[in-house]
Structure 1
Amino acid sequence: MATLNGKTVLVVGGTHGIGRAVVEATLAAGAKVHAAGRSADVAAGAVPLAIDLAAPAHFGAAVAALPVLDHVVFSAGARVSSPRFADADLAEWRLGFEVKFFGTIALIQALLPKLAADASIVLTSGVLSRKPSVGGVTKATLNAATEALGRNLAKELAPRRVNVVSPGVTATGSWGSGAARDDRLAGIGASLPLGRVVEPADLAQLYLLAMTQAAMTGSVLDLEAGALL
């Protein structure tokens, strides 16, 4: 198992879904973890940090008390729908970029003085960046922009490392709850080569790899149960 003993990690979006699974796995690997988000409901052992990616004016004050960071993970973003292009709401599209893309950029800028010389940053995109679909254009462009950001930052911030994790359909709370959610995810899973969707705990191990593999930078790491095949 990957070890992060003695390391300090910030997980943005660490209070729910994929980010919370990353927080739990990172704590289990021995790190001190700051879980950032709009909720104070964090995993046991994590340090809560109030951050809203839609409010960059507050980033300076929010990060001022942070210690030197060895790793930063971004898993937060605005929830956007999947309309056909002709029906896409530009206000919703802009919100997606303001939070997940421009908010991430602004927070990385604010965090630069806090990053260790060999720190890593892990961004989160999604399978739609390279899987065209009807109704996928909003999410696809946002995720593709995130992957381009990761590759360019890997060049500019070196020797600090920057990688991107690209999940497929993942069984988080964004799909709702109860039997209807389970049936929907089971139906999606049945269409995939592995016969199931991705679990947050599966993805957490990929984030750990991105944090601990010292020779990896500028990479996009897919975990999508075969959706790209």
Structure 2
Amino acid sequence: MDASLPATPDPSFTSETVSLVVGGTSGIGRAVADALRARPGRVIVAGRSTGLDVADPAAIEALLAGIGPVDHVVFTAGSQAPGGALAAVDLGAARAAFDVKFWGAVATARAAAGRLRPGGTLTLTSGFLARRATPGAFVKTAMNAAIEAVAKVLARELAPLRVNVVSPGLTDTEAYAAMAPDSRELMLAKAATTLPAGRVGRPADIAAGYLFAIDNPFVTGTVIDIEGGALIQ
């Protein structure tokens, strides 16, 4: 178990606990799944590499129906949102990004709502650009802000089930695997110098936020920022 994660598992986890991580086959999602595997119970991961089309609500419904009652659902699936100024953005690509990250999260919430056991949790994923006005990033800003807004409504609508959002900052994951290794390291090192934390995030750093949302029974309708201080720059 990673030393940066809590050493004492939540006592509510038993051999009967079922957790689902959508997007759990890589990056932050895999770190969340690994952390949950250190606890009692069953952990199910789903994503592109397992054949799940997150943009297909019927596929998500079938996934949850096949699992049955579940205790914790985490949605970390991401998308390649196009960047650039308004006039240059490919709106088709923008819609496709929303279909995966935003509508995929909504479909997962809908499919999970009737199957979460009492005391269950739903934790979604946004990103720090939701609340940082950055030219050229309006698609990511809109998508992540929409997730945060919907989660707050769902926290009331689905209560006493708890609904929260983890909002990561720049994190060193496979999302940058297509870059040349030297360019990737340079980009991450340069970003680290601009952050108050002095470094970029690691998947385990972000995973700890999901565990907090799951473990703390007094947290719901909350956005948990884990972004190295990017929002206070």
Q: TM-score, normalised by structure 1?
A: 0.91
Alignment check: 8 A CA contact 2:82 2:90 kept: no
Measured in 1, the distance between the counterparts of 2:57 and 2:68 equals 20
Match of 2:229 in 1: 226
Larger deviation: 10-19 or 57-66? Answer: 57-66
Aligned with 2:195: secondary structure?
coil
What's the C-alpha RMSD, in Å, of the aligned pairs?
1.4
Whether the 8 Å CA contact 2:71–2:117 is kept in 1: the answer is yes
What pairs up with 1:13-24 in 2 under 5 angstroms?
A: 13-24=23-34
Per the TM alignment, residue 81 of structure 1 is displaced from its structure 2 partner at its CA by 2.6
State whether structure 2 residue 28 is matched by structure 1 residue 25: no
- What is the match of residue 164 of structure 1? 165
> d(CA) in 2 for partners of 1:226 and 1:38?
31
Aligned pair partner of 1:9 in 12, 19, 28: 19
Q: Does 1:192 align with 2:195?
A: yes
User: Structure 1 stretch 102-111 or stretch 124-133: which is displaced more?
Assistant: 102-111
Aligned to 1:104: 105
Return the offset for 1:85.
1.8
CA distances 1:175-195 after superposition (whole Å, capped 9, x unpaired) = 225222111111111111111
2:176 maps to 175
1:141 aligns to 2:136 (yes or no): no
Q: Which residue of 2 aligns with 1:44?
A: none
Give 1:107-126 correspondences, 5 Å limit.
107-126=108-127
Structure 2 alignment gaps of length 5 or more: 1-5
Out of 211, 215, 220, which is 1:217 matched to? Answer: 220
Point out 4+ residue stretches in structure 1 off by more than 6 angstroms: none
The amino acid that maps onto 2:216 is Q
CA contact (8 A) 2:165 2:222 kept: yes
Counterparts of 1:85 and 1:30 in 2: how far apart (Å)? Answer: 48
Give the counterpart letter for 1:27 in structure 2: R
Verify: 1:77 aligned to 2:87, yes or no.
no
SS of 2:20's equivalent in the other structure is strand
In the alignment, is the contact (CA less than 8 A) between 1:66 and 1:114 conserved in 2?
no
Q: Give unmatched runs, 5+ long, in structure 1.
A: 41-49
Q: CA deviation at 1:61?
A: 2.5
Which amino acid is 2:134 matched to?
A: S
Query: 1:107 deviation in Å?
Result: 2.3
Distance 2:99 2:32 in 1: 23
Structure 2 Cα separation of the partners of residues 167 and 61 of structure 1: 29
Q: Distance in 1 between matches of 2:182 and 2:36?
A: 30
What's the secondary structure of 2:231's corresponding residue? coil
String of CA shifts for 1:164-206, please: whole Å, max 9, x gaps: 0000101111122522211111111111111111111001111
